[in-house]
Amino acid sequence: MSAQPAILVLADGHVFHGQAFGKIGTTTGEICFNTGMTGYQEVFTDPSYTGQVIIMNNVHVGNYGVRKTDVESKSVKIHGLIGRNLEEKYSRLLADGNLNEYLIANNIVSIEGLDTRALVIHVRNSGAMNCIISSDNLDVDALKAQLAKVPSMDGLELASTVSTKEIYELGDTSSKIKVSVLDFGVKEHILQCLVDRGVHVRVHPAKTDFATLKAFNPTGYFLSNGPGDPAPMDYAIKTIKEVLKEMKPLFGICLGHQLLALANDIPTFKMHHGHRGLNHPVKNVITGLCEITTQNHGFGVDPDAVRKHPNVIVSHVNLNDDSIEGIKLKDRPAFSVQYHPEATPGPHDSRYLFDDFVSLMKSN
């Protein structure tokens, strides 16, 4: 590779110089960091990362190449990539190709050669903010002017832009356990975890109305993960309120967790820098057991509002910052978690939640 220079500019004025990787060009988004040591390809294809430029904490990224099956959606969803060492060479017999070619094919502008430790510490201390990466324009003033026009993630509705456009089905069509999924940017392995448990799944676009969801005659409903701010998603909140009236089991993950809270008049807020990685400790306060979890979210539910709500109980808490990681409704079979129990990649400590959901549907 040529050592073509690239530049990273943050919204607070900080400038970082490195080398180009992936597509030559310019990209913008909200900067965030992921603490995972592996699973970079699954991270890049997670629809929840739409609109974000990601710093990978691990020193070497790309060292085991890329593979067609290691994905969570049909395309790369991050808006840009920042790394210490982004590798072209890889050592994996099963790989289909290298990271540089993969990023070029998916039009992802990237920068390497940065002190990512210092950059992560800065983001952790200063908070999430917009940034711009460029390898075809090194004029800092021009980049700052372009960056100033990028909208904040706070108040940005993105789920409908990554959702499926058409209804589709997965799993055993003869199964008695049927789930209507509202797709706000669902990861493929979440759906696979349901299918593996004998569930017949029908996936619907984000803005599907309740009547269409109900027409499937589902045993339960599922609210998926997804990108952006949940607060502007009035269309989804309205539908979830109607779903809850039916008294059938409901399970939400990540954005789905936040939307379930909003449907119960619990506000959400933008976190200082969010939770992203494969190593976040969470306590199940009902069982007393702890889990190591996979996470990817920049918004959370208001902890005071949850604890004061007469009809909602806290089921899981984050052991790093005591944020709310799970809730359950007292008067109906509905629950949600902020993290990702499918965990691909990551520890499978939390996959019991899919079993709980299936058991709830069978008993209901």
SS3 32: strand
Structure tokens at 305: 């509002």
Single-letter residue type at 128: A
Structure tokens at 354: 């899919």
Q: Is 32 a catalytic residue?
A: no
Structure tokens at 195: 């299918």
Q: How far is CA 95 from CA 41, 99, 112, in A?
A: 12, 10, 22
Q: Is 340 a catalytic residue?
A: yes
How far apart, in whole angstroms, are the C-alpha atoms of residue 337 and residue 297? 11
Closest C-alpha among 33, 94, 79 to residue 271: 33
Identify the active-site residue in 254, 257, 280, 309.
254
Q: How many CB atoms are located within 10 Å of the residue 137 CB?
A: 13
**By the 8 A CB rule, do 228 and 156 touch?**
yes
The residues facing 168 across adjacent strands are 203
Region for residue 71 given its phi and psi (left: phi exceeds 0; alpha: psi -120 to 50; beta: otherwise): beta
Identify the active-site residue in 79, 273, 297, 340.
340
Residues in the chain: 364
Q: Is 254 a catalytic residue?
A: yes
Closest C-alpha among 71, 24, 48, 17 to residue 276: 48
DSSP category for residue 293: E
Q: Phi, psi (5° rounding) for residue 142?
A: -65, -40
Q: How many CB atoms are located within 10 Å of the residue 145 CB?
A: 11
Return the active site residues.
254, 340, 342
